Structure formats: structure tokens, C-alpha cells
């Protein structure tokens, strides 16, 4: 069964593809080590849920549903992406993402 976050993630990825970009679901979740019986941390905390590229511009999209908020690491990741010329979007619903995406497209196409 799919969750609202999973559904929105898939919709965001599809929207970017249909616009002519490339994107994928980034997996930054820790992995359970069955030999040691504990979780191994992800390589980098705070990496956005969706990573992509549109017309040469790096795109990061963090999916947040309901009362879910950005962690300090996620905020830092998004700030770093913007600092180096990429575009960072926090998507709480598809309509909000589409509005933010339209602004990205307008700045990249110019």
C-alpha cells in the first residue's frame, strides 16, 4: 500500500520527467546490518528525497506531508544546493510543487 509521501514523490518525479528533466528517488535512509544487528547511518544526512537535473540545473525536492518539517540537516542541504546555483523545492502537495516548479522553469529557461 502506498503512502501520501510516496505518492507525492512519484508525482514529482513524473512531473520533472514530463517537463524534459531527469530525476530519481534518493535513498538516504540508514540500512539495517543483520550481522551486527544495528542500523548503519546513511552516507549523508539531509539529502533531498528527489534529486534531478533540468536543462543543466541541479534540482533537489524534499517531500513533506502534513506536519512533517525539515530537519536541520535537510535545511542545510537545501541551502547548500541554492548556494551553488541549484534549485531546491519543499513539496507539501502536488499543486504547491507545480507552482514552485514553474518558477524553476522560468529561471532556467531564460
The pTM score is 0.85
Using the structure block, give the residue that is written with the C-alpha cell 531546491.
Answer: 88
Q: What is the pLDDT of residue 20?
A: 95
pLDDT digits (tens, 9 = 90+) for 28-71: 666 677 887 777 666 678 899 999 999 999 999 999 999 999 99
What pLDDT is attached to residue 37? 75
pLDDT of residue 110: 58
Instruction: Name the fold adopted by 4-109.
Output: Trna Endonuclease; Chain: A, domain 1 (3.40.1350)
Q: Kindly report the backbone phi and psi dihedral angles of residue 32, in degrees, each rounded to the nearest multiple of 5, phi listed first.
A: -80, 125
Q: Where are the domains of the chain?
A: 4-109
Which stretches within the chain are classed as H helix? 4-18, 72-83, 94-109
Give burial (CB, 10 Å; 0-12/13-18/19+) of 94: middle
Is residue 99 predicted with pLDDT exceeding 70?
Answer: yes
Amino acid at each position: 500500500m502506498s503512502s501520501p509521501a510516496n505518492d507525492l514523490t512519484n508525482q514529482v518525479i513524473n512531473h520533472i520527467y514530463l517537463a524534459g528533466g531527469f530525476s530519481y528517488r534518493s535513498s538516504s535512509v540508514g540500512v539495517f546490518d543483520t550481522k551486527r544487528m544495528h542500523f548503519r547511518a546513511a552516507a549523508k544526512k539531509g539529502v533531498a528525497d528527489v534529486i534531478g537535473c533540468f536543462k543543466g540545473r541541479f534540482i533537489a525536492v524534499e517531500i513533506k506531508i502534513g506536519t512533517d518539517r525539515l530537519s536541520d540537516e535537510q535545511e542545510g542541504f537545501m541551502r547548500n544546493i541554492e548556494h551553488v546555483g541549484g534549485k531546491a523545492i519543499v513539496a507539501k502537495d502536488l499543486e504547491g510543487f507545480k507552482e514552485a516548479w514553474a518558477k524553476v522553469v522560468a529561471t532556467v529557461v531564460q
